[in-house]
Amino acid sequence: MGKIKSDSNESFFLCVKFLLGKIFTTVYYVVQSWYNMINKENYWTLRGYLLEQKYIALIDCDSFFVSCERALNPDLQGKPVCVTSGERGCVIARSKEAKEMGIPMGHPLFMAVKDYPDCIYISANHVDYGKISNSVMSVLRSISPTVEVYSIDEAFVDLTGLSKLYKKNYYQLATWIRERILEETGIPVSIGISRTKSLAKLASDKAKNLDSHICIAGKCGITKLLRQTSVDEIWGIGRKLAPKLRGLGIKTAYDYVQKNDVWIKNRFGKTGLELKYELSGNLISKVSTGKTVPKSISDSKAFEEFSNDLNYIKNELMVHIHAVCRKLRRYDCKCGVVGVMLRTKDFRVYFNKTNTEHPLDFEFEISQIAFPILEQLYNPKIIYRSVGIVLEDLSSSSNEQLGLFKNESDEKKENLAKSLDKLEAKFGRNIVQTGFTNKFVPPKQDFVIKP
Ligand SMILES: [Mg+2]
């Protein structure tokens, strides 16, 4: 008897669930067609509110390079610190204190030291920054399965539904994520949360200036956020496009989403329209967990001393070739174009590139193409300041047609490259002195200039 009763209860609830589903769908379609008829511009906004209540976060590390240096050396806390691109380079990251002193971004180091002698200048140490970035991303992956690493110091995280899982509202969740990252890696972050990636980016930019470093733009906050955002601050609108939009009377992100679809599509195409939907709270671009292959990979650094010695330049080039190959293999991709850049003492640039017969990711093969280009660009009468390598036409190694190019020696090269990467991961970069690099490359090119 009891079983029959529970079965009939179950069928009753199933019927109610089915009817409620039907009622909701009908109401949605009625409202949808009503909005279609009277106000097409708001259709997408309404659709977003009804269907996709997503919570996308952008986690952005604050002054990342400086924060890394402070995590490695706590004595730097509270002091003006600038990270520079090298001993002959320029300022690439500033602490809050350095910004307050008025040190401009991109200021050449030799001028910065003269103009702002009270600041501490540290040469960038990208190996350590990469390791710290990986630790930050690991914390995020332990919280959500959907993490998209956008750059070394930024990641999109899909937090939808995690509020229930962790029994915290989204603000508490963001606070907890900040605390965990700070505790486990020493890096402070700002967090923006909203319905889409474009909105999360705007929210995180706003979060940087808030005491809490957290900005949540939900249903009600989106309009306010859009009104506060000028067109040149919108993610995806380049410097060239912003003046054009201003010329058309669009000053804020809010003005942009108010324009109708046809108007936007005629002027800015499908991408412009997608941006409108994203800014209106409709998820167009999902948080993707896959690795994206970059368009090109390059590496270059100024010589310690200006030189016209071809062997010295070749040696420097080989160090850069090794660096780009390491990156290629990390992205699991190969290149189809190899380019070499030579910069003279007086900043003239000579560049040439050539297509490879088949996709490459191995130092010795790439150097066989790069060296003839270098020799062709090189003039013994000219003094040079730097050499660099650029790899283009990158494609994923997994897309490569198996068997077509591969032979036994390819496999040997692959194994050698893998062993090289493993050794370096364990003992530090450039630990293995290959035949072509007779120069000792210190694992950290460190220097610190203190007041
Ligand atoms: Mg940042």
Ligand 1 centroid vs 137 CA: distance in angstroms?
14
- Ranked by mean pLDDT, the top range of 134-148, 280-294, 403-417 is 134-148
Percent of the chain with pLDDT over 70: 83
Q: How many Cβ atoms sit within 10 Å of the Cβ of residue 185?
A: 22
CATH number at residue 252: 1.10.150.20
Higher local confidence (pLDDT), 184 or 47: 184
Residue 400 has pLDDT above 70, yes or no: no
237: pLDDT strictly greater than 70 = yes
Confidence category of residue 401, pLDDT binned at 50, 70, 90: very low
CA of 65 to the centre of ligand 1 (A): 9
Amino acid 451: pLDDT: 60
pLDDT band at 36 (very low <50, low <70, confident <90, very high): low
H helix runs in 230-309, sequence order: 241-247, 253-258, 261-279
Nearest-angstrom CA–CA distance, 333 and 420: 17
Domains in the chain: how many in total?
Answer: 3
Q: Kindly state whether residue 210 falls inside one of the protein's structural domains.
A: no
Indicate the residue among 272, 290, 308 that finishes a domain: 290
**Separation of CA 126 and ligand 1 centre (Å):** 15
| Mean pLDDT to the nearest integer, 11-20 | 79
> What's the whole-number mean pLDDT along residues 349-357?
92
Per the structure, the complete domain to which residue 392 belongs is given by 297-443
Nearest to 283 by CA among 48, 29, 42: 48
Clarify whether residues 327 and 431 are in a common domain.
Answer: yes
Tell me, in angstroms, the distance from the centre of ligand 1 to residue 214's CA.
Answer: 14
pLDDT reading at 79 higher than 50: yes
H or E element, residue 365: helix 363-377
Task: Report the chain's mean pLDDT, rounded to a whole number.
Answer: 84
Distance between Cα 111 and ligand 1 center (Å)? 25
Rg (alpha carbons) of the chain, rounded to whole number? 27
- Higher confidence at residue 201 or residue 330? 201
CA distance 398 to 137: 24
Tell how far the Cα of 436 is from the centroid of ligand 1, in angstroms.
37
- What integer is the mean pLDDT of 232-248? 82
Question: What percentage of the chain carries pLDDT values higher than 90?
Answer: 48
Q: Find the 70 Cα to ligand 1 centroid distance in Å.
A: 15
What is the structure's pLDDT at 32? 66
* 257 and 382 share one domain: no
In a domain, 31, yes or no: no
pLDDT band at 440 (very low <50, low <70, confident <90, very high): very low
Average pLDDT, stretch 359-387? 92
SS3 state at 421: helix
Closest CA relative to residue 63, chosen from 278, 181, 208: 208
What is the whole-number distance in angstroms between the Cα of residue 324 and the centre of ligand 1? 24
Last residue within a domain, chosen from 243, 264, 290 = 290
Interval between CA 268 and ligand 1 midpoint (Å)? 28
Instruction: Give pLDDT, residue 18.
Output: 78
Residues 116 and 166 in one domain: yes
In a domain? residue 426: yes
CA 151 to ligand 1 center in whole angstroms = 9
Q: Is the pLDDT of residue 441 over 50?
A: no
The band of 402, judged by pLDDT with boundaries at 50, 70 and 90, is: very low
How many Å lie between the centroid of ligand 1 and the Cα of residue 58?
10
Distance, CA 384 to ligand 1 centroid (Å)? 34
Distances in whole angstroms, Cα of residue 298 to Cα of each of 34, 347, 392: 54, 18, 9
Task: Give the per-residue pLDDT at 5.
Answer: 58
Least confident of 216-225, 361-370, 383-392, 395-404: 395-404
Q: Are 324 and 382 part of one and the same domain?
A: yes
> Span 312-331, mean pLDDT?
90
> Cβ contacts of residue 423 below 8 Å, gap of 6+?
431, 432
Residue 266 lies in a domain: yes
41 lies in the same domain as 118: no
Kindly give the distance from the C-alpha atom of residue 289 to the centroid of ligand 1, in angstroms, as a whole number.
20
The predicted model gives 339-358 an average pLDDT of: 91
Q: Give a yes or no: residue 99 inside a domain.
A: yes
The predicted pLDDT at position 415 comes to: 73
**411 falls in which pLDDT band (50, 70, 90)?**
low
439 Cα–ligand 1 center, Å: 34
Same domain, 333 and 364: yes
Cα separation of 370 and 361, whole Å? 13
pLDDT at residue 143, as a whole number: 94
- Among 4-13, 16-25, 60-69, the range scoring the smallest mean pLDDT is 4-13
Q: Give per-residue pLDDT as tens, 99-120.
A: 999 999 989 898 999 999 999 9
